[in-house]
Amino acid sequence: MKLIIDDANIEAIKHLIEIYPIDGVTTNPSILAAAARPPFEVLKEIRSIIGCDAELHVQVVARDTRGMLADARRITGELGDGTFVKVPAVPEGLHAMKLLATEGVRVTATAIYTPMQAFLAAKAGASYAAPYINRIDNMGYDGVEVAKTIHDIFGANGLPCEVLAASFKNSQQVLDLVRYGVGAATVAPAVIEGFVKSAAIDAAIDAFVADFEGLCAPGKTMA
C-alpha cells in the first residue's frame, strides 16, 4: 500500500519525506486554503520537494464539467503531466473523468461516500477512488468496510483502479486497510507520526539505554 501525506504544510512535508517511506502528497481546496498562500505557489514548492516521480494529487474546484476540464489542464500544465487530478465523483465529475481519460490525464475520483460512486468513477477511467473513511464513520456507517467493498468491486470487475483511502483520524483505521492491501492511504501528518508514537516504545528504548549506560558510562554510545 502506498502511503501519502494529506497536507500542504511545507515544513511538515519536508520533515515527513526525510524520515518516512512516503509515496506522495494529496491536497484539497480546504488544505490549500489553510496554507494561506497562492495555491500554485504552494503546489510547485511541494512538487519540488517530493520530486517529479512522487505522486501529487490536486483537486479541481469548478462545479461544471467544462470548468473541471479547464482546472485539470491548469493543474497538469503547472505541475507536470504525471500529476493526479482529483475530480469529485458527481455527475459533472464523471463526465469530466471520461473526457480526461481520453486525453491520458490521471484522475483520482474524490468525495466518495458510496461504493457505486467508486464503481462508476473506475468505469469512467479514474486511476484512484478516494473514499472518506472518517467522514463516513461520522455519518454512522463503517468507512473501512466501504473502502474494502470498493477494493473488492475493482478486483471482481477487473477494473484498473485502486482505492486511495482518505480522511483518517487514527492509526487503527489505516491499519485495517494496510492489512486488507488497498492501493493507497493518504494520511494527515499527525496520524502518520502517531504510527510510531507510544509510551511503551519510549519506555523500552529508555530501559535499553539505561542498562547500557550502567555497564559503560552515562551518555556512552556504541560509537
Residues marked active site are found at 86
Shortest distance (Å) from residue 110 CB to ligand E4P? 4
> From the centroid of its chain, how far is CA 194?
16
Q: DSSP for 13-43, please give it.
A: HHHHHHHS---EEE--HHHHHHHTS-HHHHH
- Alpha-carbon distance of 30 to 142, in angstroms, equals 24
Q: Are 98 and 68 in contact (CB under 8 A)?
A: no
Quick note: the x/- pattern for ligand E4P over 73-112, rule CB under 6 A, is -------------------------------------x--
Distance CA 153, CA 119 (A): 7
Show the binding pattern over residues 133-162: x = contacts ligand E4P (CB under 6 A), - = does not.
-xx---------------------------
| Region of 62-70, 114-122, 130-138, 177-185 interacting with ligand E4P (CB under 6 A) | 130-138
User: Count of CB atoms within 10 A of residue 46's CB?
Assistant: 25
In the complex, the smallest distance separating the C-beta of residue 209 from ligand E4P, rounded to whole angstroms, is 37
Instruction: List beta partners, residue 26.
Output: 6, 57
Question: Which region, judged by CB under 6 A, interacts with ligand E4P, from 89-97, 116-124, 129-137, 152-160?
Answer: 129-137
Contacts with ligand E4P by CB under 6 A lie at: 6, 26, 28, 110, 130, 132, 134-135, 166-167, 186
